[in-house]
């Protein structure tokens, strides 16, 4: 079947009575129009002045989309009106998603979050900086001599995964299986909400089956790996229940395996196309370090949702309990109302506004690790390969979903 015919056959959910026709837009979060030109550009193209702040799409089970930065932020920060009871779309799939504590609202969420913070706080992350740098150099050195590589396959998909697996005390040989589970959870295959739910459910159960014996073996242990630290954490003074540990350790693997991987490739494509931006930070350590925040703003990868907690009128729109609202984080950092010339990377931008790590009680707990990995990559890549560009005719392949992905990033550079 041709691509166009497949798209025409997409499953559309009938518009509920409370959704006005003028707010309906056909936006498919898993197959964005114009994605061939870039994931961020495809989302940004929707943010026209004519686009209502809140629109409803019949795709992916039927859901709302917040199209303005202020709204993405406001919804993230207000769990009393916008609950994390379900956060993945389609909702049928989100109900199969059993990760802990992402589906909890405060106050239930708070003690679990403390355990996560304990394992991934800035002081813990500083301890691994040297090992993170060694992992980057070990990968870049042999590539640098060659004059070319597929950045996605040979660096981005390996480096953060190696770092994370070492921190978690897990063997690299398990990565292909875990990466497939992560892919099936964040970009689940299927033509209907039910099919997508089945794909996600199988992947979720796959994670649980994998972590179950590891949790049992490390409970009560004295190791210093992330999993041992977390499974021995306390919830209101009580040991972490096994079912909650399954959800929490699986979530950690999901967070550690699929996000940084794609973020690194997205920003590297941009830098390869903009040598003048690389020249600006080459030799300016302070600008480079500060600039990492600007990269997080410019290249968000996550689009999760919130569930409307009660019937209400929100910014003039009638919402019903159970409605889902997608929060594309890209529409915050790239909103002109939040940042001038948002598609430019401006290393000296003041007030870098973004929701790349979400906001409110669930704001990404892995952000210190993500920041370290991005900083070290930028430092070591530019030190070893000061000038690089995309190979002629390069066609990166973009995919949208809960976490956006990109493959095929061929880079070239002069060698001595
Ligand atoms: C560029 C990299 C990353 C991005 C863009 C990102 C983005 C996000 C976002 C948007 C959320 C909020 C989810 C929500 O509110 O429902 C989140 C939560 C989370 N992230 Fe990340 N993340 C990144 C890296 C990481 C890493 C490296 C880890 C693990 C080591 C991680 C672990 C988590 C966890 C456990 C949560 C859930 C926190 C909670 O529910 O309280 N993330 N992340």
Q: 83 - beta bridge partners? A: 307
pLDDT surpassing 60 at residue 96 = yes
Burial of 12: CB neighbours in 10 Å, binned 0-12, 13-18, 19+: middle
For residue 208, the CA-to-ligand 1 centroid distance in Å is 19
User: Would you state the pLDDT for residue 251?
Assistant: 93
Ranges of beta strands (E only) in 267-401 are: 303-308, 312-314, 317-319, 324-328, 389-390, 397-399
Averaged pLDDT score across all residues of the chain: 95
Mean pLDDT of 80-90: 97
Q: End-to-end CA distance of the chain: give it in Å, rounded.
A: 48
| 306 close to 87: Cβ distance less than 8 angstroms | yes
Alpha helices in 274-333 (DSSP H): 275-281, 285-298, 330-333
Number of domains in the chain: 1
Mean pLDDT of 40-51: 97
| 54 close to 70: Cβ distance less than 8 angstroms | no
168-172, 221-225, 371-375 — most confident range = 371-375
User: Would you state the pLDDT for residue 81?
Assistant: 98
User: Would you state the pLDDT for residue 58?
Assistant: 97
Residue 285: give its domain's CATH number.
Answer: 1.10.630.10
**DSSP notation for 99-153:** -TTTTPPTTTHHHHHHHHHHHHSHHHHHHTHHHHHHHHHHHHHHHHHHTEEEHII
Mean pLDDT of 221-236: 94
User: Would you state the pLDDT for residue 2?
Assistant: 47
Burial of 389: CB neighbours in 10 Å, binned 0-12, 13-18, 19+: middle
CA distances from 162 to 142, 156, 176 (A): 17, 10, 12
Mean pLDDT of 58-72: 97
CA distances from 402 to 89, 300, 301 (A): 8, 11, 8
pLDDT surpassing 80 at residue 294 = yes
- Closest residue (by CA) to atom 23 of ligand 1? 259
pLDDT surpassing 90 at residue 73 = yes
User: Would you state the pLDDT for residue 3?
Assistant: 55
User: Would you state the pLDDT for residue 416?
Assistant: 77
CA 338 to chain centre: 20
Ligand 1 atom nearest 363 alpha carbon: 12
For residue 371, the CA-to-ligand 1 centroid distance in Å is 12
pLDDT surpassing 90 at residue 335 = yes
Which tokens in the block code for residue 337?
């109302």
User: Would you state the pLDDT for residue 190?
Assistant: 92
CA 354 to chain centre: 13
CA pair distance 236, 176, nearest whole angstrom? 36
Q: 33 pLDDT band (50/70/90 cuts)?
A: very high
The model's pTM = 0.96
pLDDT surpassing 60 at residue 238 = yes
User: Would you state the pLDDT for residue 1?
Assistant: 42
Which tokens in the block code for residue 248?
């929490």
Mean pLDDT of 63-85: 98
What residue numbers bound the domain in which 39 lies? 3-412
Mean pLDDT of 76-83: 98
Q: 8 pLDDT band (50/70/90 cuts)?
A: low
Point out the least confidently predicted range of 50-54, 192-196, 299-303: 192-196
Ligand 1 atom nearest 87 alpha carbon: 16
Which of 89, 304, 366 to mutate for ligand 1's pocket (most ligand atoms within 8 Å of CB)? 366
- Closest residue (by CA) to atom 1 of ligand 1? 260
For residue 357, the CA-to-ligand 1 centroid distance in Å is 6
Residue list, ligand 1 pocket, CB within 6 Å = 84, 87, 101-102, 113, 116, 120, 251-252, 255-256, 259-260, 263, 301-302, 304, 329, 356-358, 362, 364-366, 369-370
């Amino acid at each position: 079947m041709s691509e166009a015919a497949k798209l025409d056959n997409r499953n559309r959910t009938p518009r509920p009575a409370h959704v006005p026709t003028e707010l309906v837009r056909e936006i498919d979060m898993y197959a964005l129009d114009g994605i061939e030109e870039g994931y961020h550009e495809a989302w940004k193209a929707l943010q026209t002045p004519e686009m209502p702040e809140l629109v409803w799409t019949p795709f992916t089970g039927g859901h709302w989309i917040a199209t303005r930065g202020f709204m993405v932020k406001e919804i993230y920060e207000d769990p009393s009106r916008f609950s994390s009871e379900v956060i993945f779309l389609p909702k049928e799939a989100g109900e199969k998603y059993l990760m802990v504590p992402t589906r909890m609202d405060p106050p239930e969420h708070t003690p679990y979050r403390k355990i996560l913070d304990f394992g991934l706080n800035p002081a813990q992350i500083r301890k691994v900086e040297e090992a993170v740098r060694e992992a980057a150099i070990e990968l870049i050195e042999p590539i640098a001599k060659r004059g070319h590589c597929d950045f996605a396959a040979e660096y981005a998909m390996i480096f953060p995964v190696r770092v994370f697996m070492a921190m978690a005390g897990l063997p690299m040989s398990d990565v292909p299986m875990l990466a497939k589970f992560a892919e099936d959870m964040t970009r689940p295959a299927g033509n209907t909400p039910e099919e997508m739910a089945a794909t996600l459910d199988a992947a979720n159960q796959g994670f649980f089956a994998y972590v179950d014996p590891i949790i049992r073996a490390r409970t009560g242990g004295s190791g210093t790996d992330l999993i041992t630290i977390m499974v021995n954490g306390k919830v209101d003074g009580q040991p972490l229940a096994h079912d909650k540990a399954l959800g929490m350790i699986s979530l950690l693997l999901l967070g550690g395996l699929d996000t940084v991987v794609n973020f690194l490739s997205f920003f590297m494509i941009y830098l390869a196309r903009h040598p003048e931006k690389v020249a600006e930070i080459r030799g300016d350590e302070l600008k480079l370090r500060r600039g990492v925040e600007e990269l997080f703003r410019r290249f968000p990868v996550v689009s999760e949702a919130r569930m409307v907690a009660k019937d209400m009128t929100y910014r003039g729109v009638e919402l019903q309990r159970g409605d889902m609202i997608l929060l594309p984080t890209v529409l915050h950092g790239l909103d002109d109302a939040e940042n001038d010339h948002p598609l430019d990377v401006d290393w000296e931008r003041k007030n870098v506004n973004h929701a790349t790590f979400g906001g409110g009680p669930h704001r990404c707990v892995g952000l210190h690790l993500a920041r370290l990995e991005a900083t070290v990559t930028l430092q070591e890549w530019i030190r070893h390969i000061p000038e690089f560009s995309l190979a002629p005719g390069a066609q990166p392949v973009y995919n949208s979903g809960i976490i956006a992905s990109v493959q095929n990033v061929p880079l070239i550079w002069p060698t001595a």
